[in-house]
Chain A
Amino acid sequence: MVPAAALLLVSLGIYLRPRSQTSGTAAQNVTASAIVSDAAIAGLNDDDLLQEIAQQSPALQEQYADNLRRVNQYIQDAKTIVADDPNDDEARLSLMEAYQEKAMLFELALDRSLQ
């Protein structure tokens, strides 16, 4: 899962960096929905995460599910703001941080599964 999370961040970084360098160009018109496909390409699968937790630490499944729901909402909201104003540098940074939070969730889950 960690490689998948890392891949997600790399692909997101590749996506966001050119956008910040090409402000004012047609690239801005690419909607944040493209980022969703980055997540899919990276193979991040919420169900896999919850299954892993259910097997390794059933008592924590609810906590992870709750945090997963919250971080997915964070990503959705951040994407909405980027889509509303592609020139908003802070919004793009916020989206990056939202994905980092999700990557951390997977990282912590994997740490548990290795114990």
Chain B
Amino acid sequence: MSGRTIQVAAISAVLAGTMMSESLLAQTHKEYRFNVGPRAAVSVNNPYGSVSVKPSTGNVVVINAVLSSDKVEVDNALAGNRVEVQSHLLPGADAQSGRVDYEILAPADASITLHSSTGTLHAEKLHGDVSLEGAAATVDVRDITNAHVHVKTLNGAVTLTNVEDGHIEVDSLSGNVMLRNVNGPLVQVVSTSGGISYIGDFGDHGDYRFTSHSGDIDAVVPDSTSADVSARSVRGEVHDDIPLQPKQHTSFVIKEGIAFRGTIGRAAISSSVLLRSFSGKIHLRKRAAE
């Protein structure tokens, strides 16, 4: 390496370091604390950036915000038992300079409403209702019990893990939706072109409806599953690797390869499962023994 090359590399490194320092210096950390009552509500509207919510200890909401620049402010208010947070974009703000990343601690019984166009929306270990909405936002929800979970995305991927006894409604136009160990009285996923994957046992006495226009639907269940399963793809294919007890009556014509209907396990305690696609493939299979 010539001396000139070393000199250029050194100058570049110094410049890069300076730019990084300026970037870090432009970041601002802010913390807000609110004392709330039982079953409080927390609402965050964040155009650019991530929002993560975890349980706090006690009836307190703690909001840690990292602001990317002085082009954005955090407006916050406590109205009754409701905490409202809004990232307020100032003139000239864009997706980078207007970014705010939030880490929020809230009582586990609080109901949470999060909006973000980009970034990740994350909620875990809560038992209040959770509503997450964003265009390109990636959604990750885990360890939620006995709650309503509503998710809407344009193309952001959605992952729900360990959601017990939930009323779950997921709408995603083109994002893929993954559900792991998710059960409850209502589990509904609608997608236009995203794929839907379910790994779990469909609980008992629940109503499971997975619909995608052109995305594939894949359900993987253990041996212990009891479910009344109906699957239909108008122009795609359906495959079931699990022996089903056939049903006497169906609301549509069963044609091999594009539809099936039957019962897995014990019908008396089974959930109702409807898998439906227009042109995607549907596959119901048994989970491999571990």
Identify the A interface with B (CB < 8 A): 59-60, 63-64, 66-67, 70-71, 73-74, 77-78, 81, 85, 88-90, 94, 97-98, 100-101, 104-105, 107-108, 111-112, 115
Contact A70 B174 (CB under 8 A): yes
Which chain B residue has the least Cβ–Cβ distance from A72?
B192
If A71-B192, A73-B213, A112-B117 touch, whether A104 touches B155 (CB-CB below 8 Å) is no
Instruction: List, in ascending order, chain A residues with CB within 8 A of B152's CB.
Output: 104, 107-108
The digit string for B190-208, where 1 denotes a CB below 8 A from any CB of A, is: 1111000000000000000
User: B52 to chain A: closest CB distance in Å?
Assistant: 20
Instruction: List, in ascending order, chain B residues with CB within 8 A of A78's CB.
Output: 213, 278
By secondary structure, the A interface counts as: helix
Which chain B residue has the least Cβ–Cβ distance from A85?
B252
Interface status of B173 (Cβ within 8 A of chain A): yes
Instruction: List, in ascending order, chain B residues with CB within 8 A of A112's CB.
Output: 47, 117, 135
Q: Which of B154, B192, B193, B234 contacts A81 (CB 8 A)?
A: B234
Instruction: List, in ascending order, chain B residues with CB within 8 A of A60's CB.
Output: 135-136
Instruction: List, in ascending order, chain A residues with CB within 8 A of B193's CB.
Output: 67, 70
In chain B, residues 107-163, which have Cβ atoms closer than 8 Å to a Cβ of chain A? 115, 117, 133-136, 152, 154-155
Interface status of B214 (Cβ within 8 A of chain A): yes
If A90-B232, A90-B252, A94-B276 touch, whether A111 touches B115 (CB-CB below 8 Å) is yes
Q: Which of A67, A70, A97, A115 contacts B190 (CB 8 A)?
A: A97
Contact B211 A97 (CB under 8 A): yes
User: A26 to chain B: closest CB distance in Å?
Assistant: 21
User: B101 to chain A: closest CB distance in Å?
Assistant: 17
Contact B171 A100 (CB under 8 A): yes
| Additional A-B contacts beyond A77-B213, A90-B252 (19; CB < 8 A) | A67-B193, A70-B173, A70-B193, A71-B192, A74-B214, A77-B234, A81-B234, A88-B251, A90-B232, A94-B276, A100-B171, A101-B173, A101-B191, A104-B152, A108-B135, A108-B152, A115-B47, A115-B89, A115-B117
Q: Could you pull out 20 A-B pairs where Cβ atoms are within 8 angstroms?
A: A64-B154, A67-B173, A67-B174, A70-B213, A70-B214, A71-B173, A73-B213, A73-B214, A77-B234, A78-B278, A85-B252, A88-B251, A90-B232, A90-B252, A90-B276, A97-B190, A101-B173, A101-B191, A105-B173, A112-B135
If A67-B192, A77-B213, A90-B251 touch, whether A101 touches B117 (CB-CB below 8 Å) is no
